[in-house]
Structure 1
Amino acid sequence: MTSAQHPPSPDIPGGPTAAKQALRRRLLDQRRQMGVAQRRQGNDSLAAALLAAEEVRRAAQVAAYVPVGGEPGSLDLLAALTTPSRRVLLPVLLPDDDLDWAEFTGLASLARTGRGLWEPTGPRLGPGAVAAAEVVLAPGLAVDRTGARLGRGGGSYDRTLARVTGWTCLLLWEHEVLDEVPTEPHDLAVAAVATPSGVQRFG
């Protein structure tokens, strides 16, 4: 896969934090402008690429997420990931913005929360449960050629990625793979990105 080529993010007064906020606004606006058919077709291609990845095919446990607000990914992907030999964990957002985890066992195991998220209703496994996942499929807004990830700013996945040793893969749209994203010392890189064009590994 060839990453989308975009110029580096411009220097913005205020340092990395201000640059992140400006880039987040632009990327979220671009997601809002995507059509339903474009998202559906892109998600089908993204799912096919992920399910064919060797890291996913051999994993016995995958941590994933339920997409909201134009995020790449789909319930169909979650269903396809769930097999008799593979367990799928989904996040539960805690009051301090950390993530607990519970098993996904089908659409009936999801419930809408007050924050507008869909979360699993099964037994909570604890924030540390994600450490046992061989594959972690994470949301985000952008990634660069080094694997530097730009999230939404809540810090939930900064904590999660610090706990895992498995293969970490960001799910993005093509235009969200950039030449450079602003980073801070606490930001952790991911090992790969999956877009509708395929899977790109870093490092």
Structure 2
Amino acid sequence: MSRTRTTLALGLAAAGALTLGAAPSTAAPLPSPLPAAGSTTVTPAGHAFKATLSGKATLKAGSVTVTCTVSVSTGTVPAAPGNHNPAGPVSSPISAPTYSSCTSSMPGVTPTVTTSGAWQVSMQHGSPITATMTVPTGGLVVRTSGLASCTVVAAPTAPAGVPGTWTNGAPPSLTFTNTSVPVKVTGGFGCPTSATASTFNAVYKVADTTDPAQQITVAP
């Protein structure tokens, strides 16, 4: 006789026979199933929002840090029932964030940040509430001029998810702390061409622009 052993991890099934009276198996134990994602609801459904940088945003590649003090992005909470997911995150398309009033840690170097493509943010209720901002392929480019001419392309070969946290409040906030973003750096002397990742830090305050008296909220 035999019995079928099924692994729940990742939903993949594999069968194996075990003969009665045989010696105990020495195979490694099966991995535990991954926990199911909880439900997420973002309200008010269908409301537009605006995310505005609070303080400064920094993007560090190698020994070079670019700091911007102005950044804005807009989006819309999905209309019902799309604003609720019983087992996972709720995603919203957002405008490519703009970045201006930027400076470089390298003396005599002026940075310019441009963004493009289809950006997205997704929210997953939990403790903490997690948020992922998706940068499309090549969707953020930093170019420097002056004593060093460098080009830094974020998400150079594929879209990149930038993990952060969401905090409900008045206003709510979206925070990215020491988040790693893949980059490709090209240029001459002074450019951190060996860097393959950049560290991103920023805090955004989010306002409901459909009804400023309300707050965008992430709940179960």
Which structure has more relative contact order (CA 8 Å, sep 6+)? It is: 1
Q: How high is the TM-score relative to the length of structure 1?
A: 0.29
Higher share in strand: 2
Q: Please identify the structure whose Cα radius of gyration is greater.
A: 2
Higher share in helix: 1
